Amino acid sequence: MSICCSAQKAKSKWGTQALEQRFKQKFPHLRILRIDSHSVLDPKHHAFECIAHLNEILTQYDLVIASPSLETGVSIDIRGHFDSVWGIFQGVQPVDSVRQMLARLRETVDRHIWVSRYGMGTVGNGSTSMGGLLRSQDIATQANIALLSASDNDDYSFIDQNFQPESLQTWGKRGAVINVEMRRYQEFVLKGLAADGYTIIDADDFDPDETKEVVNEVKAASKELYSGECLGISQAEEVSDAELKKLQEKRVKTKEERHQQRKAELSRRYEVEVTPDLVEKDDDGWYPQLRLHYYLTLGREFLTKRDSRRAKAQAEVGENAIWKPDFNKGQMLSSVLLLEKLNLLEFLKTGVRLRGSDAEMQQLKRVALENRYLIKTCLNVTISEKLTPIAIAQKLLGKIDLRLSYVGRLGSRSHRESVYKFVASDDGRDVIFKRWFGRDEQSNCESVSVTKNIDITTPVVDTTPLSNLPTNQHEGHSLGDGGEDNPVDSWWGQVKSYATLAMSRVTHGVDAVKQFLSTLNSDERWGVMMAIDEQEPQVFEQLVEAVPDWVTWMG
């Protein structure tokens, strides 16, 4: 028998490792071979480098459990050995990958599969059209560069944003297909298998008690396996930076070496002692959540330098060209500015009780709805009119791994309302933030020290007369730290006013809009289109429909 799985990690209840553990406990007499990206590169494992000799090796085993490492480039031609192929597809792989994996065994035997109704994860912002995916990347790139220019007071016009347009278009086409299929994962998998010539037969009714028993057994095996994995990583031998680099460059590794590498990476990432709890949190995606929280609070002063360094490094590697999806993924300034605009930190005051009807909560929902397109593009959080203010706050707080705790329903009998409050989390992030702050402060001091030893001619970056600059006495300006005008808010406010003027010209035809955009610079033109899409999506769609090649207007 052969089992195809979507995952291989110890944490996955239905991955290769957990199922191997369960079957070894349940059927100790079976000869079991696990094939995944770890086992085929572990010199101590029976599956080591087996891919090239599958037809000879597989006949030695009663049960083969495989991960997506057997999706393509493999043909299992043996006959009379496997009587069935089983598949557990949780929605991680693209639909085509499921079909390819089931077809690795060429012999016509029954396939028994369980397929998730919906897929996990999407490409880009989740748009189901190529235009939507590409447009979101274009807008995000322009916004990120504009924000960097305003915050860093530097010139980023040298960056070539038109790198490999054919490849980007292919990415958009394929991404849109995957996003459509993920929304109706099971349906598309079954349709694809039917198109491949399979006869689809619904499984007979199953015994709920028996199913529950199997699920509990798998969960127990997975929990035991994963606990051992986390403990093994935390107890692994410490390695030096040089040794870590060797491990990272090494293709063939034992389990012990993988644990050493993982512990070293976690130690350098969080700069605290590596414990089983830290390993589990990292597996759950804690690092990006903590990083966003850090740059939103204690590390805010280092954010611009961080994003600038990443942008310039990517441009240098690409000889001044960037791949937009990677560039946008590496920038955090837009996400932090959005959360600041939403006043998210105001809801993190301990002891304060919050209701959906509070003025602050209503303001949160209003601002979130106004910026829902940007929030989806930058934070990958979907905001809709149907969501309550509390639900919106919880979704946004989830991006930094925090949440509001339910207190109860308070108020008079006729006006009872759910009440929440923030309870500070004792998860160790404060210690990590202090370590990160010390690291960034030291790095910043070293940069300043180096700069002082170099004779640099200060370039003229702005010739605007001082008398024409806005002051913080003017109403409507957002104030940054120290009472100074925030250049990003000023720029974005100006762009929004341009967007209003552009929309007023739509009734006069697209040429009038194009003529108005021609009076702006490239960053402002992109900003205007982003603002129109955010404020009046119907107007934006009319423009796109009337001028499909509107991107050429951007210059």
Write out 109-171 in H/E/C secondary structure: CEEEEEECCCCCCCCCCCCCCHHHHHHHHHHHHHHHHHHHHHHHCCCCCCCECCCCHHHHHHH
Residue 359, pLDDT score: 93
Helix (H) or strand (E) holding 270: helix 255-270
- What does DSSP assign to residue 479? B
Q: By C-alpha distance, which of 353, 344, 351, 311 is closest to 330?
A: 311
CA–CA distance, 106 with 24 (Å, rounded to integer): 27
Does residue 251 surpass a pLDDT of 60? yes
Exposure letters 150-180 (e unless 16+ CB within 10 A, then b): bbbeeebeebebebeeeebeebbeebbbbbb
Residue 207, pLDDT score: 75
Residue 461, pLDDT score: 33
Lowest-confidence region among 198-212, 251-265, 441-455, 538-552? 441-455
Instruction: For residue 403, give both structure tokens.
Output: 């949440």
Residue 476, pLDDT score: 34
How many C-alpha atoms does 311 have within 13 Å on its Cβ side? 27
Is the model more confident about 442 or about 554? 442
Does residue 238 surpass a pLDDT of 90? yes
Lowest-confidence region among 69-83, 123-137, 539-553? 539-553
Q: Which residue has the tokens 């730290």?
A: 481
Does residue 291 surpass a pLDDT of 50? yes
The three-point CA angle 362-365-369 to 5° equals 145
For the chain, report the end-to-end CA distance as a whole number of angstroms: 59
What confidence tens digit (pLDDT) does each residue in 494-552 have? 667 777 778 877 777 777 788 778 777 666 676 677 667 666 766 766 776 677 556 56
CA–CA distance, 281 with 428 (Å, rounded to integer): 11
The single-letter code of the amino acid at 235 is: Q
Residue 445, pLDDT score: 76
Average pLDDT, the chain: 84
Residue 389, pLDDT score: 94
Does residue 266 surpass a pLDDT of 90? yes
Residue 86, pLDDT score: 93
Q: Are 280 and 262 in contact (CB under 8 A)?
A: no
Q: By C-alpha distance, which of 341, 394, 348, 395 is closest to 366?
A: 341
Helix (H) or strand (E) holding 429: helix 429-452
Residue 492, pLDDT score: 57
Mean per-residue pLDDT, 183-197 = 92
Residue 33, pLDDT score: 93
Mean per-residue pLDDT, 470-496 = 44
Does residue 254 surpass a pLDDT of 60? yes
CA–CA distance, 78 with 69 (Å, rounded to integer): 19
Does residue 332 surpass a pLDDT of 90? yes
Is the model more confident about 438 or about 536? 438
CA–CA distance, 189 with 486 (Å, rounded to integer): 50
Lowest-confidence region among 380-384, 400-404, 421-425, 485-489? 485-489
Instruction: For residue 59, give both structure tokens.
Output: 């006949």
Q: By C-alpha distance, which of 215, 220, 225 is closest to 280?
A: 225
Does residue 466 surpass a pLDDT of 70? no
CA–CA distance, 543 with 508 (Å, rounded to integer): 12
Does residue 317 surpass a pLDDT of 80? yes
Mean per-residue pLDDT, 132-151 = 89
Mean per-residue pLDDT, 338-354 = 91
- What does DSSP assign to residue 471? -
Q: DSSP labels for 165-209?
A: HHHHHHHHHHHHHHHHHHHTHHHHHHHHHHHTTPPP-PPPP--HH
SS3 state at 35: strand
Instruction: For residue 200, give both structure tokens.
Output: 């689809």
Q: Are 424 and 408 in contact (CB under 8 A)?
A: no
Is the model more confident about 225 or about 513? 225
Radius of gyration (Cα) for the chain, nearest Å?
A: 27
Does residue 68 surpass a pLDDT of 70? yes
Exposure letters 434-463 (e unless 16+ CB within 10 A, then b): eebbeebeeeeeeeeeeeeeeeeeeeeeee
Residue 553, pLDDT score: 65
Lowest-confidence region among 131-135, 196-200, 238-242, 503-507? 503-507
Residue 295 pLDDT class (50, 70, 90 cuts): very high
Instruction: For residue 101, give both structure tokens.
Output: 């994996």
Q: Are 553 and 543 in contact (CB under 8 A)?
A: no
**pTM across the whole model:** 0.76
CB within 8 Å of 281: residues ≥ 6 apart: 427
